[in-house]
Structure 1
C-alpha cells in the first residue's frame, strides 16, 4: 500500500459515518460543503438519468450513491481501501454504482469510456497536482461535459502545494499528504489554460453560526 493510501486510511478511521438520514428525512443526498444541509446540490453537474458521472476521491461514497438513486451511472474512485470498504458496506448493493480503488490520474489515463461529468468534493482535485490531473480529466469528458469540485478556500498567503497533516497515534508522527490551494481567479486562469470553458470559481460563505470558513466551488466545461 502506498504512503498516500495509508494516510487516507488513517483519515477514514477518524471520520464519522454519514448520518442515516438528513434533516429532510432523505437517506441519500448530495453535499458540496463541509456543513450539513448547506449550499447547492446535484444540479451543479447538469446531468440526467443515464449520464455517466465520475467522483474523484469518493471517500465513503455518499454523494455517488445519491447520483445512482437518480438513475445516473455513478463511478467512484478512491485510493484508500478503508474508505472504499466503508462505501461498499453501506452502498455496495445499489444499482448503477461502481467503486474502484485507484489513484486519480492513473484511473483517468486508463478509462476507456468518456464521462458526462466529473466532480470532487474535498477530494482528489484538491489533493492531486492540477498540472497532472486537469489535462486528463478534460480528455475524458464528453464535449461540453461538466467539471465541478469543492474544497476549503486557501489561507491568505499560502498558495500552491501545501502540506495537510493527518493525526495518528500519540507516539507517531502525523501522516502527510499534499494539497493544492489557489485563489478563485488562479483556478479560473489555470482551467482556461487547459482548454476548459465557462469557468467560474467562487467562495460560498459558511452558514450562520460560529464557524466562518466557507467553501470554494469551481465549475467548468470540458
Structure 2
C-alpha cells in the first residue's frame, strides 16, 4: 500500500497549519494515517501522533518510517496525556480525538501538556442545529473490530466551544465555521486558543 498524498493544509477546509504559529514541537490527537503530522515534520517540527486505533498507528508508522522527528503512539489520548510528562508548543486535532472526547476531561490535560504560550487548535464538522453536547453514535469505527462500537461525539457551536476553552483557562480564543464548498454542505468548525505564557497555572 502506498502512502497517502500530503495535502498542503493541516485542516480540510479553510486555514491550514499557520493556525499553530511556528511550533518547535507538536502533538497530533488522532492523526489517523498521519498526513498532517508528516506535513509538519517535514518542515522541521518534532511531532508525536497519538491514535486509539492500532491499525491506523501501524499504517502510519509503515508509511512514514523515513521521516525524521516523527513518532506515532498507540494510546487513548487522555491516558497518554496523563502519563506522558512532556510538553509541546502546539497540540492539535483535525477531525480527530477532540471530537470524540469529553472536553471537561480532555481540556485540563491538554493545558498541562502545552508549553506556556502554546497553541491548542482543533477542527470538526459543523454541528447540526440542536444536536449539541455528547451525541451517541454506532458503527464499526475502529478497524479490526467485528462488533459494532458505540461512541460519543461532542458537538457544540463556535460560541459554545469558545466558552469551554475560556472556562478551562485558555486565552486568545477564536472559533469560527468555514462554510462548506457545496450549497447545503455543512462547514468545518475551527477552534483555537493559547495557554497563558506567564508563571501562573491553568
Normalising by structure 2, we get a TM-score of: 0.88
Whole-Å Cα distance in 1 between the matches of residues 192 and 39 of structure 2?
A: 20
Gapped regions of structure 1 (runs ≥ 5): 1-16, 21-26
Task: Please say if residues 28 and 65 of structure 1, whose CA atoms lie closer than 8 Å, have aligned partners that are also in contact.
Answer: no
Task: Please say if residues 3 and 63 of structure 2, whose CA atoms lie closer than 8 Å, have aligned partners that are also in contact.
Answer: no
Q: Tell me the residue number matched to 1:117.
A: 90
The Cα shift of 1:116 comes to: 0.2
Whole-Å Cα distance in 2 between the matches of residues 173 and 89 of structure 1?
A: 26
Whole-Å Cα distance in 2 between the matches of residues 152 and 212 of structure 1?
A: 10
Whole-Å Cα distance in 2 between the matches of residues 177 and 87 of structure 1?
A: 23
Deviation by residue 1:103-132 (Cα, 9 ceiling, x = unmatched): 111111112221100000111111000010
Match of 1:184 among 158, 171, 181: 158
Normalising by structure 1, we get a TM-score of: 0.80
Task: Please say if residues 31 and 39 of structure 1, whose CA atoms lie closer than 8 Å, have aligned partners that are also in contact.
Answer: no
The Cα shift of 1:18 comes to: 6.7
1:1-222 matches, within 5 Å, as 19-20=4-5, 27=6, 29-33=8-12, 38-48=13-23, 51-167=24-140, 174-207=148-181, 209=182, 212-222=185-195
SS at match of 1:212: coil
The Cα shift of 1:174 comes to: 3.8
Whole-Å Cα distance in 2 between the matches of residues 176 and 200 of structure 1?
A: 31
Task: Please say if residues 149 and 219 of structure 1, whose CA atoms lie closer than 8 Å, have aligned partners that are also in contact.
Answer: yes
Whole-Å Cα distance in 1 between the matches of residues 184 and 33 of structure 2?
A: 24
Whole-Å Cα distance in 2 between the matches of residues 111 and 29 of structure 1?
A: 30
Whole-Å Cα distance in 1 between the matches of residues 129 and 38 of structure 2?
A: 35
Gapped regions of structure 2 (runs ≥ 5): 196-202
